[in-house]
Amino acid sequence: MTEFAGKYVAAIDQGTTSSRCMIFDHAGAVVAVDQKEHQQIFPQAGWVEHDASEIWDNVRAVAAGAMAAADLTREDIAAVGITNQRETALVWERATGKPIYNAIVWQDTRTDRIATALGGGDANKYTAKTGLPLATYFSGPKIKWILDNVDGARAKAEAGELCFGNMDTWVLWNMTGGTDGGLHYTDPTNASRTLLMDLDTLQWDEGICADMGIPMSMMPEIRSSSEVYGTGRERGPFRGVPISGILGDQQAATFGQACLSPGEAKNTYGTGNFVLLNTGTEKVMSKNGLLTTVCYKIGDQPTVYALEGSIAVTGSLVQWLRDNLGMISSAADIETDARSVDDNGGAYFVPAFSGLFAPHWRADARGAIVGLTRFVNKGHLARAVLEATAYQTREVIEAMNADSGVDLEVLKVDGGMVVNELLMQFQSDILNVKVVRPVVAETTALGAAYAAGLAVGYWESEDDIRENWAEDKTWTPSMDEDQRAKLYAGWKKAVTRTLDWVD
Ligand code: ADP
């Protein structure tokens, strides 16, 4: 060991569009980062897949890349945390480590019929146990689809030859040795997104697994979000380093934003938007279309729960404009275009590409641009695109206020879209609350690093996390109430135009 031993903590952030490795110091500042995008595979309308082997290659590359960028060796790293796109489901062969099918991504809607059939007319059949409605979003029906549709899969699953994992489990299994003794674990935040975990016991529910035809032998062991699971494998960049934190990406962002007390909430603006409200050790069931989920479980401390408003499409609408329409050449152009006009010109864009998630949960919705006239130009559409993120956020914040009985006063924000100043001001205007961005907007990776660092004593307690959090910028509302009400009413009307589209 050198005098620098254990000076930093690393986080692997396996996201929807890219994989990142970030290295943080004790103050929570970024020391190094490396990132690689992976391919988005769209085999049919509504289907979204990832090549899990490509993702693992990228994770290895960015881990090595971040270490090299700061001239670090494994002795410099005290612990490694993992955070990941949640719900995305992968099945692989235990003996070979080969996926039997691409990972089915959380946005994928192919399980629509499976989810409906499982409910038998009751979309809330499993809600009391799992906190979730039956929807295409969650992992369970995706696993069932793979077992039903890949040749020989079910027989192999029943013979105990297959492993299921979300991307946290895939990364951990490979990082700790893969076929050579890799750990088949997950944490309660990821497990709480499968529709298969009991929120009280933090164990797989055998009855629900049986309903979906999923053998228990496929399921990873559910450990806590912060404990030493094992160490990095031989010949990996983190050989011998404790791997000691796992949090699903949105829970990691909540942790990294220091939303550690009941009533504190954050909104992450990435591919989609995810608002999480810490409800403490109390499991609050929503009456307004929100999810009840595990926020984190640190070692053997009591489980902390959250209410969540998940929005499927926000930043990915900006990507869609860039990649499918070629209307902009980079994501940042959307703000330049939006600033060329004063308002949306009457246009609204409802990006119901994966149906509508919270608070609607309508798999039958599809996207629409409404309110068009000859007057509407590129700038108005750019505004409509950005405004869609803010209106969707208002819908889930209203649901949260109704569920909790307390109106949110400040919204902490993070994620790739929060560099967009026009969006942040509009968000504050349309919500009529303050919007606050922290200095480290990479809260997802930071949260995973905190979970890992706490487990090895690199950070002593959650107070260290609170102390490290620092404000970068605050936006305050400046829109008059009439204007706010008029715009939001227009949005509500636009949403009605997207429903009942798919039979
Ligand atoms: P994820 O972790 O979900 O992969 P990120 O937090 O990295 O996503 O955010 C990336 C998203 O942010 C992309 O969907 C991109 O379109 C969007 N984005 C990036 N820069 C801007 C910008 N300046 N304005 C609006 N959206 C942006």
Ligand 1, atom 8: closest residue by C-alpha: 270
Q: Crossing angle, helix 52-69 and helix 167-175, to 10 degrees?
A: 60
Which atom of ligand 1 is nearest the CA belonging to 416?
A: 9
Is the pLDDT at 1 greater than 80? The verdict is: no
pLDDT digits (tens, 9 = 90+) for 197-239: 999 999 999 999 999 999 999 999 999 999 999 999 988 889 9
Residue identifier of the C-alpha nearest atom 23 of ligand 1: 332
**Region of residue 112 (left: phi > 0; alpha: psi -120 to 50; beta: else):** alpha
- Whether 69 shows a pLDDT value over 80: the answer reads yes
Model confidence at 132: pLDDT above 70: yes
Identity of the residue numbered 344: N
Query: Does the C-beta of 318 come closer than 6 Å to ligand 1?
Result: yes
Q: What is the pLDDT of residues 436-488, one digit of tens each?
A: 999 988 899 999 999 999 999 999 999 999 999 999 999 999 999 999 999 99
- Confidence category of residue 413, pLDDT binned at 50, 70, 90: very high
Measuring from atom 22 of ligand 1, which residue has the nearest CA? 332
Q: Which atom of ligand 1 is nearest to the CA of 444?
A: 2
Closest residue by Cα to residue 418 from 269, 241, 245: 269
pLDDT at 4: 38
Alpha-carbon distance of 222 to 259, in angstroms, equals: 23
Q: In the predicted model, what is the mean pLDDT of the chain?
A: 95
Q: Which residues pair with 91 in a beta bridge?
A: 164
What pLDDT is stored for residue 181 in this prediction?
85
- Does any ligand 1 atom lie closer than 6 A to the CB of residue 15? yes
Q: Is the CB of 319 under 6 A from ligand 1?
A: yes
DSSP string, 28-92: S-EEEEEEEE---B-SSTT--EE-HHHHHHHHHHHHHHHHHHTT--GGGEEEEEEEE-SS-BEEE
Distance (angstroms) between ligand 1 centre and the Cα of 469 equals 22
Contact 421, 453 (CB under 8 A): no
Residue for token digits 């955070």? 83
Among 495, 307, 492, 477, smallest CA distance to 399 is for 307
- Ligand 1 binding pocket includes 443 (Cβ within 6 Å): no
pLDDT for the residue 230: 96
Environment class of 418 (CB within 10 Å of its CB; exposed 0-12, middle 13-18, buried 19+)? buried
Task: Assess contact for 140 and 212: CB atoms under 8 A.
Answer: yes
Q: Please give the helix or strand (H or E) that residue 244 lies within, else none.
A: strand 242-248
- Ligand 1, from 107, 417, 437: best to mutate by most atoms within 8 Å of Cβ? 417
- The residue whose two tokens read 């099945």 is 91
Question: What's the predicted TM-score (pTM) here?
Answer: 0.90
Q: Whose CA is nearest to atom 27 of ligand 1?
A: 417
Cα 43 to ligand 1 centre (Å): 23
pLDDT > 90 fraction of the chain, expressed in percent and rounded: 91
Q: In this model, does residue 5 exceed pLDDT 70?
A: no
Residue 318 CA: nearest ligand 1 atom is 16
pLDDT at residue number 104: 98
Question: Does the beta carbon of 315 sit less than 6 angstroms from any atom of ligand 1?
Answer: yes
SS3 at position 277:
strand
Which tokens is 448 given?
Answer: 């995973």
Per-residue pLDDT at 396: 96
User: Residue 466 and residue 281: Cα distance in Å, rounded?
Assistant: 19
92-106 burial code (b ≥16 CB/10 A, e <16): bebeebebbbbbbbb
Tens-digit pLDDT profile for residues 338-381:
999 999 999 999 999 989 999 999 988 999 999 999 999 999 99
CA distance 304 to 187: 13
Residue 136 phi, psi (nearest 5)? -65, -25
Q: Is 499 exposed, middle or buried (0-12, 13-18, 19+ CB in 10 A)?
A: middle
Q: Which of 12, 14, 17 to mutate to test the pocket of ligand 1 (most atoms within 8 A of CB)?
A: 17
322 Cα to the center of ligand 1, angstroms: 12
Query: In the predicted model, what is the mean pLDDT of residues 120-143?
Result: 95
Q: How far is CA 295 from CA 226, 258, 276, in A?
A: 12, 12, 8
Please state, in angstroms and rounded to a whole number, the distance separating the CA atoms of residues 379 and 343: 9
> Residue 390 Cα, ligand 1 centroid: separation in angstroms?
14
